Amino acid sequence: MQNKRVVVTGYGVVSCVGNNSSDFWTSLVEGRCGLGPITKFDASNYRTQIAGEIKDFDISRYLPFKDAKRMDLFCQYALAAGDEALEMAGLPMNFQESELDETRVGIVVSSGIGGIIATTTQNSILFERGPGRVSPLAIPMMIADSASGDLSIRYGAKGPNFGLVSACASGCHSIGEAYWIIQRDDADIMLAGGTEESVMPLCIAGFASMKAMSTRNDDPLHASRPFDLNRDGFVAAEGAGVMILEELEHAKKRGAKILAEVVGYGASGDGYHITSPDPEGAGDARAFQIAMKHAKMAPEDMDYVNAHGTSTPLNDKFETLAIKQAFGEHAFKLSISSTKGTTGHALGAAGALECIACVKTIENQVIPPTINYETPDPECDLNITPNTAVERPVRYAANNNLGFGGHNAVVIFKKFED
């Protein structure tokens, strides 16, 4: 059986630079940084005191309060992004009340950490007030697959439904796995992406103890500086990105606007270290190569790579090596950027947000910049689109993500050609 073609018909965003996809894209192109001092808790005695917090998010626009309080915040973010994605795609908010087959609609919306608010809150209740006072909703609100479960209930979707956890590669892996589900004809429509609520005391303290985060607390707008020689760590951020993937003929039959095509997905493991990427870049390069094999494309066909580009010393150096291995001499002709200078690092949501950025790049034929680039690093010597967006023809765009544990994921998008 020939594999089905898979297209993108919608997407939705909640981010520190905008709570919809339009504001998100404008911020990326204009390089408007969304990072600032942490306000969600007193971080004055933390090593890192800055983050990318969601602003002006009002769940009552989407849900009654009594329903919202049964969800952890990462699920609320996913729901808001899912609603925007469905509306853009012209799809119903309840598939069971539509003419579409709800058993052919699936969800893969993942999180790197899950319900950290519920975890820490209920843990405090346990030790301060006893086991009988722990909420009966504690477990459903904690577990990382709750976003997929909550969305499937809200939308009446009864197709493949799961969440996966691969740290900061979770969102990218989710979109790739959803692509395969449609390719093999197990669903016609998939909502896929990632969501995270990482600006919480335990997360910030843990990452800070690892010395993985920037300590430019006096200058948050310039703290995340991917590929710059003076980068000193990532800046944690919240967010959610949900993408609508659809089988091509299904989308055409209902007259959907097709935004891009998904043509390749590669996943690999470093088998090297719990936090550091492979220092030779071999694992990540292999994910690129697998994705290009499935896309039936040559390395020279690639136009743009949205890099993981976390602004940590090791990631940016080793990712540069991986891109060189995967693309050879063509690596120096690629347009590359890391949008994390603008958005910070939304962990399990990062790949989803950056896949959406790839589709927007194809739609607009504009490369979003890597902001805060001041001092070149000789070991990061590719064209990283410094500081200013660039117009150029983009037929193929790839998103690359790496996660703690050695998880690598690449998804390739192509300008739709019928």
Q: Which residues are catalytic?
A: 168, 308, 345
CA distance linking residue 69 with residue 59, whole number of Å: 10
CA distance linking residue 133 with residue 126, whole number of Å: 7
CA distance linking residue 33 with residue 126, whole number of Å: 39
Q: Which residues pair with 195 in a beta bridge?
A: 240
Reduced to 3 states (helix: H, G, I; strand: E, B; else coil), residue 300 is helix
Amino acid at 381: D
- CA torsion sign for 324, 111, 25, 82 is positive
- Continuous H helices in 236-312: 248-253, 282-295
CA distance linking residue 44 with residue 60, whole number of Å: 31
Reduced to 3 states (helix: H, G, I; strand: E, B; else coil), residue 144 is coil
The owner of tokens 């492979």 is 278
CA distance linking residue 151 with residue 173, whole number of Å: 18
Structure tokens at 331: 């690596």
CA distance linking residue 2 with residue 110, whole number of Å: 28
Number of helices and strands in the chain (H, E): 13, 13
Torsion of CA 151, 155, 157, 162, to 10 degrees: 0
Angle at 112 between CA 265 and CA 102, to 5 degrees: 65
Closest CA to 259 of 112, 88, 373: 88
DSSP string, 66-112: HHHTTS-HHHHHHHHHHHHHHHHHT--S-GGGSSS-GGGEEEEEE-S
DSSP string, 43-69: -TTSS--EEB---S--GGGTS-HHHHT
The DSSP output letter for 257 is P
Structure tokens at 261: 């095509």
